[in-house]
Structure formats: structure tokens, C-alpha cells
Structure 1
């Protein structure tokens, strides 16, 4: 491997890894201290926006104190290839520890939550937001957790490599505002902390799936907290609130995790990450204040000390999500130091409009005339463009069965990742007191062109479909079987679609 001899005053020994920011090397200071040196990629080095933000973020990061923060010990933002150095400490990452020892119990989760809250408190006091807190960025050292890589994400986020509407971070730990490309403040780190604790308890806050699927669920669906012990479940749920202003502050979390004096942690000794003559596994930063650095002031008291809205607080009123570039770039954190880039495709064209037929199912159900097809104005989002919501109800015209109805509701516009949207819409139509008779299954009907997702309960039968322009769910009476519902849903869809001749 072709390695540089030196980076600054540090002698390079070997490469540790590469990622979104650049290459990470194991190196030694002139006094023999082991460090990890991160060198920016050439395209980042050529970007003046990255250099300016990198310089500001490094200066702030060097001043962070605290027991559990990881600190930059040296850096040169003005070098031909900007770099930063962090001291090396032993210990597995939280993700590695969970893989070998399994989920944590409630006392261990409380200690972890308290330690990470202290770390975030110190970071936020210096005006920094981590933006990528996750189990892989937390080193479980013998004297407690250390948080890695704070202060770097924002420099990457500011570059021309990440266009408007981009999100930097790791799906599954990204706050809703991050996933949508909105302004990000300290509350995003609290959301990530909640997701970290769910992972430490053995769960996954937003399940498995594609990066886009995880981001979608973070924005639109409630987290899965079934693995979290009941004693701290309300605290974790508060961390994962969709509204940033409704999440606790790190200081408030300390009071919730350890109401009294902190219990003494169980002494655990981990094997060194860098055994003599062995392979380098992971480098981390040690929380040692630089000789010329001054600690940041204590965090200022928020007007409401148990809630926070972030550095760039989102307005409390319902806001319209801002539009995004047609080919946004999402930087997703990958293995090692940094991330990888995921290029998102442009939105699809409009191929059809929607109409509300006067009747359905051979005239048995007639439009009640009370609800228009498109009642609200169009809105944009990260996964959708020019979207309108609609609800249309059809009542049974048969004597003695006029209380029955078929309802069609959904959203029309331009969609990406329609299966996630379709399934979410169907779940939101389920009744809490229903008993499922037939679990949701996907039905591919001949010549349909789309899949139909159907489910039967004691009170209703649901069928949903999704395509590039429409996501809808049809609610039938419980007398309809899943097969009947799927067939009738296809007919309803065919009757509602009005093709656009030019496809624009």
C-alpha cells in the first residue's frame, strides 16, 4: 500500500480505513503517542466551503471538555490536504460490544444514557452538533463511553458535494429534520441518543430495510420500543419525539436517567484495540484538553430546561417542507471513518390524473358527494413532490345496507419509494380494536401493473396500492375477502386513473 511518510509532525504507520471524509492513518507523534490522523479527500481539499467550515468546526471541537467527549488533539485546516489528529484509546465500539455480549439491562442503559447525555452537553455548549451519533461512533473504554467524530459532520455537510436537501448521517439514527434536509440543531443528537439506546437494548427503533425506508419511517412512523425496559421507555420515547422542541435537553436527560447519585458502574476491562504487534482495529480520541485550549462555558439554561428546539429551532406552526434538488446527494455514514454517497434519482413525471367516478362496484356504491377529490393545496417533501391528499366515500345503495360504505383515501402527486408509503398508509387506516382475520399480504393481479397490499379484520378489509403518482387505500366492509378486495381495488384504480396524454 502506498502510504505517505508523514502527515504534519506525525509519522504514518498504516492505513486504518477510508470513508466520506477521506483516509484515516495510524500514526505516532514525535514523542511516541499513537494517534489517528484523518486526511481529507482531494475533492474536499479543493472546496473552499469545506475548508472554511472545517477550520471553524475544528477550533470549536478543540475546546470541548467533559468526561465522555472525544477531542481533536491536532489539526491543520490550511494544509494542501486538510487533516486532524485524535489520540488513540483502547476499547470496542458500542456496536461491537453489543454483538459480542448482547443487549444491556436497565441499569447499564441508564449509565450509558447518562454518559452520552454528559457528552452531548459538553459538545452543545461549544456550539457544536454531532449529527452522526450511533453505536459505531461510541467507544466503550474502561473508564466509560467516548463519543467520536463530533464537529466533522457539519464541515462535510457544508460542501458542494452535499446539495440542498441532503442529509448527512446514518439512517435509523437520523432525526426527522435531518432526513428531510431541514435545519439541524442539538435536538437531532438527542433523537440519535434515543435510537442508540434502543439499539443497546437489543432493538431497532425503525426496523430494517433500505436507507430510504429507514429515513421514511423516522419521519412518518412511531419507533419500536418493545425491547426497551419499561423503566426508561418513556425517556427514550421522549428522545424520539418527531418535533425537535418536544425532546429533552441533555441536562434534563441526566435528571431522568440518574435522579440521584450515579451508581458505581461495573468494572469491565477490555482488551486493547491495538495489541503489541497486532492489527489496528479502531482508533478513538481521548478527552484531554489541548494545552492552549480553554474549556467551553457550561451550557446555557434553556427557557424550558427539559425541552429543546435546537440551534435552528423549527417553527411550532405546521410548516410546508421545502423543495429539494432533483438529484440530491445523501451522505450516509458507512463502516470506518466517514461515509459513502448515495445518489437519489429525480422525481417521476405525472402520467395520470385522478377522477372520482359517480359510482363503484357496478353501481352498488355511489359517491356521497360530501368530500372533494383534492381538498388541500400541493406540498413537497423529501420523498414526494406536488402532493395532494384526497378522501372519497361511496355508500351502499342497496335497501337495508345503506350503512355500508367503501372509502378511498390517499395522496396524489409524484412519489419515490411508493411501497413504504403504501404500507404506512394502510397501517394508519387500521382500527385499534380490530382483530386481524387475515394478515396483510401482497397480491399481484394479472395485468395490474402494481402490487396490492391487502388485510382482513373483523370490522373491515383494507387494500392499498402505490405507483409513481398515487398512493391510496380502499376500505371495504368486513364481508369482502382479501381476494375480493384486491380484485375490486384493481377495478377502482382503473376507474379513477385518467391518463395524461403527454406524460407531463
Structure 2
């Protein structure tokens, strides 16, 4: 399989599939589209020398936002800095282009998610090999001072020469406080570490947690069951992982990866020893080496460099990745009568005066959605999740989930100095509201920056 899961493979001939395609991106001739998401489009293209590349192009309307370009430059710098055998190389990029783009080498192969669907679970030897490859990849990433933050089966390509970890769309430099701000969870429920689900600061141990969940999935199980994203996150924080599908010999290793306390998880280097213990004795040659005889200089034509082909999955970092300035006024800081206070119950009224809050109408026609583009704000007892499936509100009394086809509009506003209010209006006339207290005014500002861009992907 070539390209992201579910992407139209096309014929690559320049026939009907070329309708609407750009002829060239930078120095690369476009052949076909690999996939599209909320943040942009991925194309299969070729260099002038014939090398296949995957070019990830941001939506033009995002290019004018300074915060977006900051995030995109960080993505490029992160991806360029990571080496190793099991990650995807960046071959070119132009963050300053009218529509910023990033090119990676193209690797044919299915994702781990697709391979598990078609071939079923891995045996213990396969799991150990997969775990060792992923541990090497994480070690390369962490050595650069980065955290991937969204390791999952859909971001792992099973290439002919071994697994490759893809998508640094949400990997961020650890030293960048703005790009790793607390209070917003990045990643995919079911693979999120507890500290991610709670919106706390994360480090490399969060990737180790995700690796453990990936190997449970590759065993045929699910570390935290199924169901709603809120339920998955709750279980990752409060409940022990389900390791019943994991071979006995690997359960202690994966249990340590999935420890609630980041300090109790092994490092990627330690995982290598746990997955493939180095017990073999040193090897000595059985045939004496022939003496070295100087040879006359010769002109040798080197073979072409081995390309580590890869493609990025459907475009789009997670969790409010590229927030533009707030769309419309932020409101007068007060809710209507349906909300009695900063932490009042979900009511049936509206926020403040009509038109005083940013408003996003629900889509009237289906559009391509990207499961990786989402906004998640979490506090001690409340949460808001907005992703490709719709809007979910988590409260002390339970969760409410609204698919996009039921949603008429989503409104949001700053309520007082540090609270975020979100209203979901349904086509049946029902109105649901929630207030989330931010710990700092800067966190509220970040929520207000991130929310409109994620909403723009779906409404």
C-alpha cells in the first residue's frame, strides 16, 4: 500500500486524478494526492532526479497566521533534527512559502493499524522486534530533545526494512514553553499517558507509555478498552491496563511502560535490553583474515544513496495545534441566565448577548475530516473535546457527545479572567453549555487562540 490509510492510490499517470492538482510544489512535480485533512493536503511528487517524495502542504488560509507559521517552523526543525534507522527523514521544506510545505522521502508500506486489520495480532517474537524498533526510534527522537506525543499504530509504517515512526506534526522541542504549554492534551485517546490526558507537562516517558499501548494493540488487545474518548482517557488515568492479550513473557515489560507515574517507566534504551536482551557472546572470526594488500587507485561510481522512503499520514497535528487570532469578539465575560456561576451546571440558555461570542455554524455538506485534528481542554472535573466525530463535553455527572450531523453551531467565550465557556447548539433546538476554569490567564488565551482553528477544520 502507498500513502495514508484510506487514501486513494490513484494511477500516477497524470490522467483524471490530476484534476485540480498543483503542477509543482517547490522543485517537486506533483503526481497525485495521497490524502487530505483539516490542516492541509499530502501529495506524491518527484524531484528532478526522479526521487519520490510526499509533500505536506498547509491550507493557504492558515499561512497568514503568525502562530501557525511558528508551529510549522517548529515542526520542520523537529523533523530535520531527528535521525536514526526508524524515523522518517525530511528532505526539503519551505515554511515561508505562501502555502508552507514539508517534503519527506516516500516509503511504500501499510501502517501498523492496517497490517493488524489484515493479518491479525503479532506473536511474541514479532512484538519484541516491533518494540525494539520503536524503542530505537524513540531514543533518536528523545536525544534531540523532542517528544513525539502521538505514537499510535496509524503513525507507524511497516516498511520492507522495518517499522518507521512518522508524523512529527505535533512533536515539539521540550525547551519551548509555548509549544508544550500545560492544560491542552495532544495525542490520541487510548494511547495518551495520564499526564497528557490531564493536560500536564509531558516528557519522553509519555512516548514510552504510548509504546506500551501500541504493543498491547499489536497483541490483539486494547490497553484501556473501547468506547468514548473521555472513557479511554479516564481509564488511562485511573485504571490498570488490560494486558490479557499480551504474551506472558512481555506482560511485565508492558506493565512498566504503562505505569501511571512517568518516573516508573523505563527509558527507550532500557526497553531495548528488555525486548532483545544482549546475551550473545562476542563473535570471533572462524577464518583468519587475509592480509591487506594495497591496491592501485580505482575510479568507483558509488551507488545511489539508500533512500529511507516515507510519507506523512493525513495532514494535521492534534489538539489545537495552530491557533489563529480569535474569530469575532470574545464576549462581555458573562453568561446568560442559564449558567449560575463559573462552575454552574450545563444549562439550556445562551451566553451573553446575541452575537457576542465567536460562532461556528455546523457544516451543511460532508467534507474530508482528519481524526488527528482535535481540541482537548481538560480540568480536574470537566473537559471539552472537539474532533472529527463531533463535540464531547465531560462533567462531574457524566459525558455528553454530539456528532457533527446533530450540531447546528458551536460558540465559545472568555468568562471572567480565567474561565472558558463553550455552548453547543443542536439542530433539535437543545442547547448545552459548559465552563472550564483555566489555571492562568495565559492558558485561557491559548484556548481562545486554538479553538477557532480546530473548529474551522470541521465547521
Do the structures match in fold with TM over 0.5?
yes
Q: 1:38 deviation in Å?
A: 0.4
Question: Where do 4+ consecutive residues of structure 1 move more than 3 Å?
Answer: 151-155, 158-164, 285-289, 339-342, 417-421
Which residue matches 1:5? 23
Q: 1:160 deviation in Å?
A: 10
Q: How far does the alpha carbon of each residue in 1:346-386 deviate from its partner, in whole angstroms, 9 at most, with x for none?
A: 986159xxxxxxxxxxxxxxxxxxxxxxxxxxxx9636169
Measure the CA separation in 1 of the matches of 2:102 and 2:82: 15
SS of residue matched to 1:215: helix
**Residue from 397, 402, 419 that aligns with 1:418:** 397
Measure the CA separation in 1 of the matches of 2:273 and 2:34: 38
SS of residue matched to 2:67: helix
Which residue matches 1:69? 87
Which residue matches 1:241? 259
**Residue from 109, 114, 127 that aligns with 1:96:** 114
Which residue matches 1:257? 275
Give the 3 Å change call, closer, same or farther, for CA 219–136 of structure 1 in structure 2: same
1:382 aligns with 2:386: no
Aligned residues: 299
Which residue matches 2:356? none
1:130 aligns with 2:109: no
Q: 1:61 deviation in Å?
A: 2.2
**Residue from 331, 344, 349 that aligns with 1:349:** 344
Measure the CA separation in 2 of the matches of 1:17 and 1:417: 39
Which residue matches 2:316? 338
Measure the CA separation in 2 of the matches of 1:77 and 1:381: 31
Give the 3 Å change call, closer, same or farther, for CA 381–81 of structure 1 in structure 2: closer
Measure the CA separation in 1 of the matches of 2:186 and 2:155: 14
Contact 2:60 2:99 in 1 (8 A): yes
Give the 3 Å change call, closer, same or farther, for CA 150–163 of structure 1 in structure 2: closer
**Residue from 44, 59, 74 that aligns with 1:41:** 59
Q: 1:74 deviation in Å?
A: 0.9
Aligned ranges 1:385-404 → 2 under 5 Å: none
SS of residue matched to 1:145: strand
Which residue matches 1:145? 163
Q: 1:53 deviation in Å?
A: 3.5
Measure the CA separation in 1 of the matches of 2:76 and 2:237: 31
Contact 2:46 2:53 in 1 (8 A): yes
Give the 3 Å change call, closer, same or farther, for CA 236–341 of structure 1 in structure 2: closer
Which residue matches 1:21? 39
Q: Which has the higher contact order (CA 8 A, sep 6+)?
A: 2
TM-score, with length taken from structure 2: 0.58
Q: 1:261 deviation in Å?
A: 5.9
Contact 1:128 1:151 in 2 (8 A): no
* Structure (1 or 2) with the larger CA radius of gyration: 1
SS of residue matched to 2:147: coil
Cα RMSD over matched residues?
3.7
Measure the CA separation in 2 of the matches of 1:261 and 1:79: 52
Q: How far does the alpha carbon of each residue in 1:172-227 deviate from its partner, in whole angstroms, 9 at most, with x for none?
A: 11111111211121111111100000000000111111112211211221111111
